[in-house]
């Protein structure tokens, strides 16, 4: 194998970050009619959707809501973070298009399309707000949300069982445990790497052209999986995925914002400003609700959020610090080595195994000192979570 890994991008140690002036990523154009959907996507190109069930689902108010729910929670709604906004709407359509490109059945395309349908406003920030729910908030309350939506009715009108189709674990092309590949992981991996200028448009095309459903995309094949045809291209994706994690998904500044916003949402729920079962709205709608109430603790936290770039990364914690704990994200893409067999890249190339290992711990910890200059008019600096830990 001849692929050469670049020097890994280092974890950010400063909160002073310039807003990118350019990004390879562009949001897709989606034009809906009653019978077709025309999609122009920077990753998948020009695609026409004419299956009525897909048209009806994408056109539904429940799916359209995802246009206002950003992938990164707060990151793309706070200008100083400098993150290009990518919505769960475009990612969900992208996951569907990938399954479609790989030859997946319409049923599996539906599952890919709906895999994020139960995400609330601010996405995974709700996991920070309610850490004791027993899992990701959108997964814990997924079925409760779906039963209140139009999705079951639409699926049943087209003779699909919503309890089967909406369980993406039934569809190996859509969802697999990390570090394997699946449509969800591949689509956001490519899109986010483009946002952070770690992949170009031509890189994205190269990656897609090297993917296949193996040994087949047939619904009757329980072993179907997404694999790369060549180890070099698999390594290219794995490296971009790793580096996107370091500068994007595990960015300390975004982590602090999520921690503060999680406490704001929890405070708002305790104060009966909003019910946690009414959070299936857009990011902007939730922002308006939170900023419209005169609550001292929320005002203090909003001040911290508005001045988040005054925080500092420190090595020694004190009474004014919080600890952020980030889950390291890595992939170990399977590679086809014959017409009958695939193997994880780490077994194909030793240099991959050494370069991509996340170290002995699956988590990385960062201590952050919050802004100590909260105006006295806002009261004492509001405490964050009881244990002051954020896991993302």
pLDDT for 256 equals 85
Contact (Cβ atoms closer than 8 angstroms) between residue 158 and residue 152 = no
Length of the chain: 392
Q: From CA 50, how far away is CA 58, in angstroms rounded?
A: 12
CA distances from 143 to 9, 219, 283 (A): 39, 24, 21
Q: From CA 287, how far away is CA 265, in angstroms rounded?
A: 10
pLDDT for 248 equals 86
DSSP structure class, residue 87: B
Tell the burial category of 229 from Cβ atoms under 10 Å away from its Cβ (0-12, 13-18, 19+).
middle
Is residue 366 within a helix (H) or strand (E), and if so which, with residue range? strand 363-369
Contact (Cβ atoms closer than 8 angstroms) between residue 228 and residue 210 = yes
Contact (Cβ atoms closer than 8 angstroms) between residue 68 and residue 283 = yes
pLDDT for 361 equals 56
Per-residue pLDDT of the chain (392 residues; tens, 9 = 90+): 555 655 555 555 555 554 455 788 999 999 999 999 999 999 999 999 999 999 999 999 999 999 999 998 776 667 667 778 899 999 999 999 999 999 999 999 999 999 999 999 999 999 989 998 888 999 999 999 999 999 999 999 999 999 999 999 999 999 999 999 999 999 999 999 999 999 999 999 999 999 999 999 999 999 999 999 999 999 999 999 999 998 888 888 888 888 889 999 999 999 999 999 999 999 999 999 999 988 999 999 998 888 887 888 888 888 778 788 877 889 999 999 999 999 999 999 877 776 566 554 566 778 888 766 655 444 444 444 443 344 33
Cα torsion 101, 329, 66, 90 to 10°: value is -30
List of domains in the chain:
29-391 (1.10.3210.10)
Tell me the two tokens of residue 296: 């001292």
Contact (Cβ atoms closer than 8 angstroms) between residue 332 and residue 179 = yes
**Among candidate residues 140, 194, 135, 142, the one with its CA nearest the CA of residue 163:** 142
Is residue 146 within a helix (H) or strand (E), and if so which, with residue range? helix 142-148
Contact (Cβ atoms closer than 8 angstroms) between residue 190 and residue 199 = yes
* Bridge partners, 202 (sequence order): none
Q: From CA 187, how far away is CA 176, in angstroms rounded?
A: 13
pLDDT for 11 equals 56
> What pTM was computed for the model?
0.90
């Amino acid at each position: 194998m001849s692929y050469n890994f670049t020097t890994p991008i280092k974890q950010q140690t400063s909160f002073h970050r310039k807003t990118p002036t350019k990004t390879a990523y562009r949001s897709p154009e989606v034009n809906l009619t009653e019978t077709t959907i025309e999609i122009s996507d920077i990753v998948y190109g020009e695609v026409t959707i004419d299956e009525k069930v897909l048209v009806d689902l994408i056109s539904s108010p429940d799916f359209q809501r995802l246009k206002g729910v950003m992938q990164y929670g707060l990151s793309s709604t706070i200008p100083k973070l400098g993150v290009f906004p990518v919505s769960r709407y475009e990612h969900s359509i992208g996951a569907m298009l990938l399954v479609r490109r790989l030859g997946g059945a319409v049923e599996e395309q539906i599952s890919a399309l709906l895999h994020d349908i139960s995400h609330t406003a601010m996405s995974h920030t709700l996991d920070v707000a309610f850490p004791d729910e027993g899992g990701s908030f959108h997964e814990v309350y997924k079925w409760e949300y779906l039963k209140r939506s139009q999705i079951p009715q639409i699926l049943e009108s087209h003779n699909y069982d919503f309890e089967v189709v909406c369980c993406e674990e039934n569809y190996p092309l859509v969802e697999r445990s990390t570090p394997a590949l699946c449509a969800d992981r591949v689509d956001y991996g490519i899109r986010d790497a483009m946002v952070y200028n770690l992949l170009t448009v031509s890189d994205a095309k190269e990656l897609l052209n090297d993917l296949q459903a193996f040994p087949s995309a047939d619904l009757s094949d329980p072993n179907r999986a997404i694999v790369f045809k060549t180890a070099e291209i698999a390594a290219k994706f794995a490296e971009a995925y790793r580096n996107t994690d370091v500068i994007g998904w595990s960015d300390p500044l975004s982590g602090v914002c999520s921690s503060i916003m999680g406490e704001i949402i929890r405070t708002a729920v305790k104060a009966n400003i909003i019910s946690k079962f009414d959070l299936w709205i857009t990011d902007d709608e939730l922002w308006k609700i939170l900023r419209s109430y005169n609550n001292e603790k929320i005002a203090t936290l909003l001040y911290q959020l508005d001045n988040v770039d005054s925080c500092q990364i420190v090595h020694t914690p004190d009474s004014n610090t919080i600890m952020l704990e980030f889950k390291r994200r890595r992939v170990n893409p399977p590679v086809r080595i014959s017409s009958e067999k695939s193997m994880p890249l780490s077994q194909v190339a030793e240099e991959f195994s050494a370069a991509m290992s996340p170290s002995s711990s699956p988590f990385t910890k960062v201590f952050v000192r919050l802004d100590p200059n909260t105006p006295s008019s806002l009261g004492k600096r509001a405490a964050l979570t009881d244990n002051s830990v954020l896991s993302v």
